Each structure stands twice: as C-alpha cells, then as structure tokens.
Amino acid sequence: MFDLDRWQEIMSTLKKNKLRTFFTAFGVFWGIFMLVIMLGSGTGLKNGVTSDFGDFATNSVFMWSRTTTMPYKGFPRGRRFNFRNDDIAVLKREIPEIDILSPRNQGGGRREGNNVIRGYKSGAFSVMGDYPEWNLIDPVNILNGRFLNHADITEKRKVAVIGNKVHEVLFRPGEDAIGQYIQIQGIFFQVIGVFKPGQSGVGFGGDKEQTIFIPLTTFQRIYNWGDIIGWFAFTSKPGVPASLVEEKAAALLKRRHSVSPQDTQALGSFNLEKEYNQMNGLFQGINGLIWVVGIGTLLAGVIGISNIMLVIVKERTKEIGIQRAIGANPWNIISQIMTESVFLTVFAGYVGLVIGVGILEVVNNLLSATGESSNMFKNPNIDFNMAITALAILVFSGAVAGLIPARKAVSIKPIDALRYE
C-alpha cells in the first residue's frame, strides 16, 4: 500500500494522459459535489421550516367547541355549547396521559378597535386570558419582569404581560413599563412583564408581538364570560402520542356537554404533533430522493472510471505480462489496479466534498452577514456522519470501479500478454 515504487508508477500512469484523467475524475467530482450541495440545501430548507416552531411544544393539541350537527339526549342539532372551568379538573383527573393543560380565552384585536389605552396613546391588541402553563406550551422570552403565576389566577389580579410591539406603541423608547398601568376595556391593569415571542411561525390568536396576557379568571370577569373557556391547549406525556390525548379529551368533553359521540363536527381541534410528523416525513422523503439522485450521479462517474481503467489495462497488457512472467502474483496486479482506481476516485471525490462544503459555508455566512430574515432557508450544512458516509461511498465505489479491470488483467495468460501488440 505504501510502496514508493508503486505510487510512482500510479502517478506516472495517470500523468501519461492528463486530459483523459481529468475528465474521468470530473465525473466523480461532480457526483459528490452535487450530493453535498443537495444534502446541504435540504438541511437548510428543513432548518428554515423547523425554526418556525422555536420552543413550541410539538406534542400539543388545541381544542375548541363548535355547533352540534346531530340531535342528542333531547337537544336539537345546531346547539352551541361552551367549555367550563370545571372541565379543567376533570380533564386532569380522567386523562392521566395529559402532561400540560392550559385553558385560554381570547378577546380584543383590530376588529374591536383601540381596546388598550395609556395616557394619550392607544392601540388595538389581542388580549389573552391564560394560565401560567401556556408559557410551557408556547414559551416567550421575557425581556423584563415576569410571566403570569397561579397567584394571579387565584386572586384574579389585574396584571398584564405585554408584547414588545405593545410596549413600543404605549411607552416611550427605553421607558420601563414594569409597574406602570394600562387600560384594557376601561379597566386598569398593572404591567408585570414585557416579552418577545420565541418564534413566529406557529401562532394562535394573531401577532404575538401585539398580544397582552392577563389571568384567565380576570379575563372572564372583565369580559363577563362567567366560567366560560374558549379553548384548551394540552400536551401529551413523553412517549404518549398526542392523538391519543386528543381522542380521549374529545370523548370526555362530548360526554360532559351532552354531545353525540358520533358528532365529528361539534369539536374543532388542531394536532400539532401530527402536522410536525408529516413535515418530518416529507423531509425524510426529500432526503432519500437526494441520496438516490446523488448516488446515481456518482455512479455514472464511477462507471466512467471503470471504463477508463479497462482502457489502461489494455494499454498495459504487455507490461502486466512481464510482471507476471518475473514472478508477480495475481494479487499484486489486482491491488495495483484497484489502488489506482481508489486513489483517482477518492481524490476527485474529496475535492468535490471540500468544495461543496466550502460553498455551503460561504452561503451560510452570506445569509448571516446580510441579516437574511427568511424562515424558509437557514444554516445549510451537512453533518459529520453524512461526510463520513460520503467518503465511505467513495472508497467503496473506487474499489468496485477497479475490480472489473483488475480481474480482466489477471485473466490474461502471461505468454499471451507478452505476445500482445
């Protein structure tokens, strides 16, 4: 393997026809180069899409009530019903697979006009009545102050956690909002926290930067909702499919509110885990297609190398005959030809790998330097395992490319090889 004379002979053979060697190696270079670029681009696309989720709990389900479509227990179809506060304890008790449960009410927004006032400033913002658990499902970055806690819920405190855009509208730049008061629907609330969304791709209730969180119990009081709950958000425990929790919660809520078990339209729900898994399946399919196309392109280059090695073997028939005649065994001939093939394949492929990774790194740096904000493409790269796999494919391909010519070389009898012209 490390015989100096052998390597000098290999280099001499490859240099005899530089143009042929270049175009032969280019096929392998292009195959591995395209494989790296496509894998990196696929990763960049996946990173861009999955970054939209941020820290959002991907094993979460959201459920709300709608109008019934079937009569049941004396109630007519078309009946509107609402979730209630006492559903919270029942859901926790009856469905042990639930990990986090957070009820939510929603009010405000641009359709209701300027619903929040501070001094001479006002704005139209979404007002969410929440439990502290909501921040475990869709975490936000607290810039100042704190998030809601259970004491706020129990004591029905008039406190608010405001988004960064709310702060920009109602307060002067750099002004500390903590401890200040704002009016929501004419009622004063003390600001206890300012937040910035952890992600923007998944949202429920509008622009989170223009959202105000208040305790659910306080929301029910100021909006005269009684004990009505708009919808539930819950996550499943580790290892438990969110769809199982969704099915159990739907069945339990239908039973509690006298809704037909067969009425599939009475409850609305959104299973984020299902959507997330479908998206991952899509990217796995894309990744598999990339490997098929990339390896197919690489295979075309390897076939080219194999054909060129056959030509080289034919040109060196008399030389091989002389080697056999003076005592070279078949393995010496096979190893020499396969070494040439593996060297040419690995060298060309390694150059393609390095240039491909370099281009991905340049693109990544350009995206960072220009402050690219698109969430569709982010941090294109290939990981270490992919690089090792690509190199292993190269070594294997080179060995296969040289095997056929090598076997052909040793199949020729020494006396016939010496007579070859």
Q: Give the model confidence (pLDDT) of 144-174 as tens digits.
A: 999 999 999 999 999 999 999 999 999 998 8
Does residue 308 lie in a domain region?
yes
**What mean pLDDT is predicted for residues 132-142?**
91
Given pLDDT bands bounded at 50, 70 and 90, which one contains residue 177? Answer: very high
**What mean pLDDT is predicted for residues 130-148?**
92
Does residue 82 lie in a domain region?
no
- Which amino acid belongs to residue 413? K
Instruction: Identify the residue with better confidence: 140 or 304.
Output: 140
Does residue 345 lie in a domain region?
yes
Does residue 72 lie in a domain region?
no
- In this structure, are residues 195 and 142 in contact, taking their beta carbons and an 8 Å threshold? yes
Q: Is the dihedral of CA 220, 201, 148, 250 positive or negative?
A: positive
Given pLDDT bands bounded at 50, 70 and 90, which one contains residue 227? Answer: very high
Instruction: Identify the residue with better confidence: 75 or 343.
Output: 75
Pairing of strands 267-271, 231-236: unpaired
pLDDT for residue 47 is more than 90 = no
Residue 307 has a pLDDT of 72
**DSSP characters over 201-240:** SS-SSS-GGGEEEEEHHHHHHHTT-TTEE-EEEEEEPTTS
Q: Kindly state whether residues 136 and 41 are assigned to the same domain.
A: no
**Burial status of residue 418 (CB atoms within 10 A of its CB: 0-12, 13-18, 19 or more):** middle
Task: Please tell me whether the overall predicted TM-score, pTM, comes out greater than 0.75 for this model.
Answer: no
Residue 9 has a pLDDT of 62
Domain C-terminal end among 171, 206, 230: 230
Cα 397 from Cα 35, distance rounded (Å): 15
Query: Across the chain, what does the average pLDDT equal?
Result: 81
Residue 32 has a pLDDT of 81
Q: How many residues does the chain have?
A: 421
DSSP state of 112: G
Given pLDDT bands bounded at 50, 70 and 90, which one contains residue 344? Answer: confident
Interval 57-101: pLDDT, tens: 788 899 999 999 999 888 899 999 999 999 999 999 999 999 999
Q: Kindly state whether residues 121 and 198 are assigned to the same domain.
A: yes
Q: Kindly state whether residues 219 and 283 are assigned to the same domain.
A: no
Q: Kindly state whether residues 134 and 217 are assigned to the same domain.
A: yes
**Nearest by Cα to 185 from 212, 203, 207:** 212
Rounded alpha-carbon distances, angstroms, from residue 152 to 118, 160, 246: 22, 10, 29
Q: Kindly state whether residues 225 and 287 are assigned to the same domain.
A: no
Query: How many structural domains compose the chain?
Result: 2
Q: Return all residues near 183 (Cβ < 8 A) that are at least 6 apart.
A: 116, 117, 118, 189
Does residue 270 lie in a domain region?
no
pLDDT for residue 124 is more than 70 = yes
- Please report where in the chains the tokens 């005649």 appear, as a residue: 325
- In this structure, are residues 340 and 3 in contact, taking their beta carbons and an 8 Å threshold? no
Residue 260 has a pLDDT of 93
Pairing of strands 267-271, 83-84: unpaired
Instruction: Identify the residue with better confidence: 207 or 92.
Output: 92
Domain C-terminal end among 230, 258, 293: 230
Structure tokens at 185: 């629907």
Here the contacts of 393-396 (C-beta below 8 Å, separation 24 or greater) are 393/295, 393/298, 394/28, 394/32, 394/298, 394/345, 394/346, 394/349, 394/350, 395/342, 395/345, 395/346
Given pLDDT bands bounded at 50, 70 and 90, which one contains residue 253? Answer: very high
Q: Kindly state whether residues 283 and 413 are assigned to the same domain.
A: yes
Q: Kindly state whether residues 320 and 380 are assigned to the same domain.
A: yes
Q: Return all residues near 205 (Cβ < 8 A) that are at least 6 apart.
A: 104, 106, 126, 128, 211
**What mean pLDDT is predicted for residues 223-227?**
90
Q: Which domain holds residue 128?
A: 102-230
Residue 263 has a pLDDT of 92
Does residue 339 lie in a domain region?
yes
- Please report where in the chains the tokens 């909006």 appear, as a residue: 223
- Please report where in the chains the tokens 């861009």 appear, as a residue: 48
- In this structure, are residues 122 and 140 in contact, taking their beta carbons and an 8 Å threshold? no
CA dihedral 278, 60, 111, 201 (to 10 degrees): -50
- In this structure, are residues 62 and 232 in contact, taking their beta carbons and an 8 Å threshold? yes
Q: Kindly state whether residues 402 and 287 are assigned to the same domain.
A: yes
Q: Kindly state whether residues 124 and 41 are assigned to the same domain.
A: no
Domain C-terminal end among 230, 263, 295: 230
Q: Kindly state whether residues 293 and 399 are assigned to the same domain.
A: yes
Does residue 235 lie in a domain region?
no
Q: Kindly state whether residues 388 and 281 are assigned to the same domain.
A: yes
Rounded alpha-carbon distances, angstroms, from residue 93 to 58, 89, 96, 237: 23, 6, 7, 14
Does residue 245 lie in a domain region?
no
Q: Kindly state whether residues 218 and 142 are assigned to the same domain.
A: yes
Cα 246 from Cα 62, distance rounded (Å): 8
Interval 353-392: pLDDT, tens: 888 888 888 888 887 776 554 556 677 777 777 777 777 7
